[in-house]
Chains A and B, each alone.
Chain A
Amino acid sequence: MNVNYIASLITVVVLFLIAYVGTQVVGLQVLFGIVIPYLALVVFLAGFIARVLNWARSPVPFRIPTTCGQQKSLPWIPSATVDNPSTTGGVIARMAVEILLFRSLFRNTKARLKGGERLSYEWEKWLWLAALIFHYAFFTVIVRHFRFFLEPVPAPLKWLQSVDGFLQIGLPGVLISGFALLAAVIFLFLRRVFIPQVRYISLASDYFPLFLIMGIAVSGIFMRYITKVDVVSVKALTMGLITFKPVLPETVGGLFYGHFFLVSVLLAYFPFSKLMHLGGIFMSPTRNLANTSREIRHINPWNYPVKVHTYEEYEDEFREKMVEAGLPVEKEPATGTSQEKE
């Protein structure tokens, strides 16, 4: 038992119950179906923009990319053009591989003492795999949900759905992404609980988003496969929201409002949380800069004009004294002038 994840779990359950009881017992459909979703979207967008602009105001005068391969130097030394890029093209390739394939996570290794004495570093690809599945599944789920927000539904969305449901198991057909998302998020949670070092550094802000996404996935799966909702009414509700003519069909039940509220909470929480890595990955100076530290001289643009005292000036000032003391000087004192002051 650990207060970080128990508290997060309880929070998510309570949030769900607030929406469920709020709509089914108290009758606050207007609040959970209209007011909170709008507010959540506004907070999400405004918070996201503010966060990114704040990052953009942080100066990065020098090149600080993490170097993951041979730097470009002499022409006959092969360099890692993607893992240690020196051109804009290389940076774009590096960012693409990082964002689409999680290149840096692929380097993940596990350090442990083998036989109690020898330190060994082993391949650890499960985190990379689970993270990749998680992100792609979540992305697919989000894109799929656009069928509730677009009318007519564009053909590519239908293609995506048919690919997602190509197993054709049961009716309504199993969509792989939903279950992949739930499985991956459970793996990411168990990883934090079962690996002692990871548990030690895990905070409530790590567990809370995991439980929130787990709650969203579970409630979504329940609605689609088990308790069922009237999908047409749900779409009438969502379409009402995005056309600013909100409607609240009576056939939409508490499970939907719970799901909807958890999504609203996720949106509103997003800009204030670690989830901002969605924007942050693009703003990472250790990834998005070309390694030209030696190729080009980067000068700090707001360098303070430093008052310097060069050796020439120093010698001019102390030449006589230096000569008297027998120290070597670069410029012999001019004969006849005992005092040379400027």
Chain B
Amino acid sequence: MSNQVNREIVVENLIKRYGDFAAVKGVSFKVESGEIFGFLGPNGAGKSTTVSMLTTLSLPTEGRATVGGYDVVSQAAEVRRIAGVALQEVGIDPLMKAMELLTIQCQTFGMSRKQAQGRAHELLDLVKLSAFMDRRVGKYSGGMRRRLDLALALAHEPEVLFLDEPTTGLDPASRRDIWEEVRRLNTRLGITIFLTTQYLEEADLLANRIAIINNGVIAAEGTPQALKAQLGSESINLTFGDADSVTRAEAELAEMVERTQVDHHTLRLYLSHAANAVPAVVNRVQSVGLVLQSLTLTQPTLDDVFLKVTGERLETKDAPQPAKGSRSRMARAS
């Protein structure tokens, strides 16, 4: 698609107060055209409040924001025409069928009934719901409802897509489907995607850039890689055959790294750009005649980043799904 289309989101010192309570306390960021921007934060951090201002559902108390060059306050109608929105609560009538919902949605954007039906078929195909188009939405699974909601948000071919926690409450398989879909939409259609999430893994996997919001302020911003390199703790882990080797290795290597930690027969070396340091570390170990049993690298995670910038703990235990692997859910430390 053409490059002239403005698909940026520009947010300048956005503030939202409800009475004495400030939900968003002066947030600024810029999302480039065609980017997937991850807006990461725990429950109550101000994510949904920001989305509701950007999608014209509520007014900022102070500050200003534009979506695709249109002001969210004074040009709300234009913003609605170019923005697709899938809110946290899936807004679909359980008594209706997918085909009916999509047709009406397309019609409201000015398509004729026939055009709208054609478009509805395309969208059902896109989110792989064609086989269920005549089933009432109330009978859909959670994942199917999200996919339909995504299709509804895409009805008018938005330039900018807002997804507010698109995978919260989904099982791992449905979650992966949505991720795949989001990536596909971004690469094929070139649309800007503003994605809020409380899952670190999600932001890490999908987003080109991330902003971490906590207590209504942006705590950190950058690419996942940069954030991890800057704030995370990479480590080289060396395992030896005996405790004595570990002690000797530590004495030899401590000056090369930021911090060391001994864990049984394993020596952990904390440093940035760990991968680059591996040859030097190995050389030094060999030069003093120590024998390595294994060497592993630990990449920093966004969990580390979040902990660093917010000082809050990440809880991994009460994730809504059986969390396999590294999925973690952020929660305020109690």
Tell me if chain B binds chain A: no
Q: Which residues of A pack against B, CB within 8 Å? A: none
